[in-house]
Structure 1
Amino acid sequence: MIRRAAVVVLMMLSTAATAQDGPSKADFAVASAAGDRLDTGRYLDAAEALRPLAFDAAGKPKAGFVHDQWAELYTLMTAEPVDPEPSPAEDAEAKAMAERVAGATLRDAISEIVARAAKTRVVILNENHGLPRDRAFALEVARALQPLGYSVLAAETFMVGDKGVAMSKLAKQGYPIQRTGYYTHDPVFGDFARQSLALGYRPLSYEQTGEERGQPRGRAESIARREEAQANHLAQALAADPKAKFFVYVGFSHVTEQPIDDGDDGKSQWMATRLKAKTGIDPLTIDQTNLGPLMDDSNGLARRALAARNVTRSVVLFDGDHPMTVGQYAGAVDLQVYHPVTRWVKGRPDWLAAMNRRAMAIPAGFLPKKGERLVQAFIAGESDDAIPVDQVLVRAGEDAPSLMVPGDKPLRLVMRDPAPAKP
C-alpha cells in the first residue's frame, strides 16, 4: 500500500511540474513532510517545512517544484497567490491572442453555462490548483446547475482508498475534513464542497487507485494510465445511474475533450476525451486556466486586453455566435472563462463575498504581539478535524485583515502560531 504522504506529493504535481527530470528525492521528502503537517491542520508548519528548499540563504525564491508547493500552501492562508503574475510574453503568438480577445464579444459566464448544461448530463469545469478564486466560481456553477437536476459532484481531489465509505461519510457529515482530499485543505474548496452538499449534491470520487497507477514508464504512460482510470470510473458511475447529471471538477488539462499537444511532438488524450468516447455523451467542458493568472507568460497581453474592458462579472468569450477558445486548449473545450480583476476589501479579495460571506473583525486578543499567526474560523458543531470556513495570516504591527465568514452560522475561532524552532 502506498503511504498517503507519497500520494499527496503525486496529487500536488501539476501538469507543468511533470517534466522528465522531475523533483528530486529531497524534494519529495520535504513535500511529504509538509503533507503530514497539512493533514493535521498545521498550515503554517507545513509551509515552514518547505521553506529551506523553497528559498536560498538570502531569502530569494528558488524556482522549481518546492517553491511552487510553498506558494500553493501559503495561498491556502491568504486566498490569493503570493507570487506575482509573470511578465507578459510579447511574441507574435501572444500579440495575436491579445488581439483576438480584445475583439471578442463577452457574455455572462453563468447564463451561458446554464443554457448549454441543459443539453447534456455532464458538465466538466477545471481549475488552476493555485487559485482559490476558481473554486469560488465552481460554487457559483454548482448553484446554477442544481435547478437543472445536476445532483452528483465528482471532484478530482476526493480521496480514493475505500471510496464508498469515504464518500458516504462525507455525504452524511456534510463537510470536508483534513483527510477528505488534498485540495480540500483550502478553506475555499472546503466551503465549495460544504455548500454543494447542502444543496443536495452527492459526492463522488473517481481518481485512479494505487493499483491502477502501477509503475508507468515515463510521463506519457503515467498520464495515459491516470486518464484512462478516471474516465473508466466516471463512465461506470454514469452507467449505474443513467438519469443522474454530473458536475465534474478537475484540474488543468483533464477538461479537454480533444487530444492536445503534450510538449513532446505528440498528443495526449486526457480524461474528458476518453470519457466522451466511452459514453457517447458530449460533455460541456469549461476552462478557467488559460485566461487566468499564473498559467504562464503567454496569456499576459490577453489578460491586459480583457482587464482594460473593465468587466465586473465572470464572462465567456465569443466570436460572433461561436465560443472563442485560445491558448493551449483552443478547440479542445467548449467555453473559456475570464474572471474580473480582484479588488481588495478590508484586506480580503472581493470575490469571497459571493460565497455568502460577511466581514468579521478579528478580536484584539487574537492579534500577535510578534511574528505571524494564523487565525481560523470554524463552523461550531463541526469536528476538530474539519476544514476551516476561513483563515487569515495576521502579522504583528500590520493592519489585520477581516475574516470572511457565513452570516447565518455560529463560529469558533482558533489561533495557531508556528511551531517553535528546534534548537
Structure 2
Amino acid sequence: MIARTAAAVLMLPAAVMAQDGPSKADWDAINASMKQLEQGRYLDAADILRPLAFDAAGKPKPGIFYSQWREARTRMTAEPIGPEPQPSDEPEAKAAADRLATATPRDAIAEIVARAAKTRVVILNEDHALPRDRAFALEVARALRPLGYSVLAAETFLNVDDHAPMVRLAKDGYPVHSSGHYTQDPVFGDFVRQSLAMGYRPVAYEQMDSGGGGLSRAESIARREEAQSSNLAKVLAADPQAKMFVYVGHSHVAEQPIDGYGNGKQSWMATLLKAKTGIDPLTIDQATLGQSTGGYNGHPRRVLATKASGRSIAMFDGDRPVVVGQYAGAVDLQVYHPATRMVKGRPDWLAAMGRKPMVIPAGFVPQKGERLVQVFIAGESDDAIPVDQVLLRAGEDVPSLMVPGNRPLRLVMQDPTPAKP
C-alpha cells in the first residue's frame, strides 16, 4: 500500500506544478483520497477532496484540490466538468483562432498512421481530467497495431524494481487498482484492456525515486524527465525491432525544449528520448485544443467546430501541420476532438470504444443522495477496474451504462461511506 501511494504522488507534479506548494495537511488529504482509490472507493475519494475544492458558496477554488477533485469526478462519469470553454480576450488565443481559421482539416487517425509508418516511436499526450482523450488513445492503438507497434508504455503504469505490476498486467490482460493511478479511470482501464487483447505488451517507465525535497520545480521536472527517457531508451535498445506507443500527460510529449519556469527552457521526456536514441518520434498533442475549463482554447474550439464534421482532426497549412499554443514547433501533430454530445445520459464517444447501452435496473437507483453503479467483466478479479460506472442522483434522470456487447458482466452498487458521528 505504501509503495503504491508513493508512486501515485510522483505523478502529481505534472498536474499541479502551476500551483503553490501544498502544506502537509494538503498532501495528507490527497494521499487519503488516493488510498480510497486503491481500494476502489471512488465516491469516498472524491468526497475527501470536495470540501477543499470549493468555497463556502460552492464556487471552485482554483488549485490542486479542485484539479484533483475534477479528475476524481470524471472517473465516475466520463464527462468533462463544465461546459465548452468561453472565448478568451488574450491576444494569443485570438491569434491561434485566426491561424486555424485559414487552415485545412485532415482526418487525425489517417495522418497519424501515415507518419507512424516512418518511425518506431509514437508519443501521444492527454489532459488527465478528460477521459475522452483515453478513448482516442484506443483509436490510435488500434491504428498502430497493423504497422507492427506492440509495446504500450504509459506514464501511469506503476514502476517498481521487480516489475511485478506489469508482469501481472500482462498475465491478467486487464488493469487492477495497483497497476497505476490514472488507469483507475474505467475509460483508461478499458483502453489498456483492449490494447493488451490486441497484442500490446505493457511497459512502465516512470521515475521510481523522486529524490526527496530541496529541489526547485525546474530541477524536479528535469530529474523526472531524465529518468523517464532513460527507462524508455533501455526498452528500445533491448529490442531494436520493437515499435512503441508511449502515452503521456501534457508536456512530456514535447520533442523540443519549451518555455519552463523562470527565464529558461525546459527539456521534457520526448526531447531527451530523441537525443538518447537518435529516433525521431511522432509526437501528438491532444491536450491544447481539448474541452477543458481553460479560456485559451475557447476561440480555437469555436473555429474548429465548423471544420470537424463530427470527427477528430489535425489542421494543415498546405502539407505542413498547424500547431498552436505552447507546443508550436515542439510536436508534429495537434488533434482537435469535437465537443462531447450526451446520448442517453452518456458521452457519445463511448460507443466508438465498442460499447452498447445497458439499462440500469430500478433496484440500483438511489432513493436519496448519490450512488455509484459499476459494471465489471465477469471473471476478472475483485481488484479489477470496472469497465464502466455511472453516478446516480436521487430524483434525476437515470443514464445508461455503456458496456461491451460480447462479455459476461456483473453489476455492483457503491454508496458513500457514512460520516463518522
| Contact residue 72 and residue 81 of structure 1 kept, 8 A | no
1:368 & 1:145 partners in 2: Cα distance?
43
Q: Which residue does the alignment assign to 2:14?
A: 14
Q: Matched residue pairs, number?
A: 421
Name the aligned partner's letter for residue 10 of structure 1.
Answer: L
Q: Which residue does the alignment assign to 2:237?
A: 239
Name structure 2 gaps, 5 residues minimum.
Answer: none
2:207 & 2:372 partners in 1: Cα distance?
34
| Contact residue 323 and residue 334 of structure 1 kept, 8 A | yes
Name the aligned partner's letter for residue 192 of structure 1.
Answer: F
Give the C-alpha shift of residue 295 in structure 1.
Answer: 6.6
Normalized against structure 2, the TM-score is what? 0.97
Q: Which residue does the alignment assign to 2:5?
A: 5
1:336 & 1:263 partners in 2: Cα distance?
24
Q: Which residue does the alignment assign to 1:384?
A: 382
Matched residue SS, 1:412: strand
| Contact residue 7 and residue 208 of structure 2 kept, 8 A | no
Of residues 344, 348, 355 in structure 2, which corresponds to 1:346? 344
More divergent stretch after superposition (152-161 vs 164-173): 164-173
| Contact residue 113 and residue 143 of structure 2 kept, 8 A | yes
Q: Which residue does the alignment assign to 2:274?
A: 276
Give the C-alpha shift of residue 217 in structure 1.
Answer: 1.5
Name the aligned partner's letter for residue 11 of structure 1.
Answer: M
Name the aligned partner's letter for residue 291 of structure 1.
Answer: L
1:14 & 1:362 partners in 2: Cα distance?
37
Normalized against structure 1, the TM-score is what? 0.96
More divergent stretch after superposition (56-65 vs 348-357): 56-65
Q: Deviations over 1:241-288 (max 9, x none)?
A: 000100000000000000000142210000000000000000000000
Sequence identity of aligned pairs in percent? 69
The residue correspondences of 1:293-304 to structure 2 (distance < 5 A) are: 293-294=291-292, 296-304=294-302
Give the C-alpha shift of residue 85 in structure 1.
Answer: 4.6
Q: Supply the RMSD in Å over aligned alpha carbons.
A: 1.5
1:53 & 1:215 partners in 2: Cα distance?
24
Q: Which residue does the alignment assign to 1:221?
A: 219
Of residues 249, 261, 274 in structure 2, which corresponds to 1:251? 249
| Contact residue 105 and residue 308 of structure 2 kept, 8 A | no
The residue correspondences of 1:11-410 to structure 2 (distance < 5 A) are: 11-15=11-15, 17-19=16-18, 21-210=20-209, 213-215=211-213, 217-294=215-292, 296-410=294-408
Give the C-alpha shift of residue 58 in structure 1.
Answer: 3.2
| Contact residue 7 and residue 158 of structure 2 kept, 8 A | no
Name the aligned partner's letter for residue 57 of structure 2.
Answer: A
More divergent stretch after superposition (325-334 vs 308-317): 308-317
Q: Deviations over 1:53-93 (max 9, x none)?
A: 11223333222111111111001001012234543222322
Matched residue SS, 2:151: strand
Matched residue SS, 2:314: strand
Name the aligned partner's letter for residue 399 of structure 1.
Answer: D
Name structure 1 gaps, 5 residues minimum.
Answer: none
Matched residue SS, 1:107: strand
Change (3 A) 1:2 1:411: closer
Matched residue SS, 1:373: strand
Matched residue SS, 1:177: coil
1:44 & 1:163 partners in 2: Cα distance?
32
2:277 & 2:203 partners in 1: Cα distance?
18
| Contact residue 12 and residue 69 of structure 1 kept, 8 A | no
2:225 & 2:162 partners in 1: Cα distance?
18
Name the aligned partner's letter for residue 48 of structure 2.
Answer: A
| Contact residue 78 and residue 391 of structure 1 kept, 8 A | yes
Change (3 A) 1:84 1:342: closer
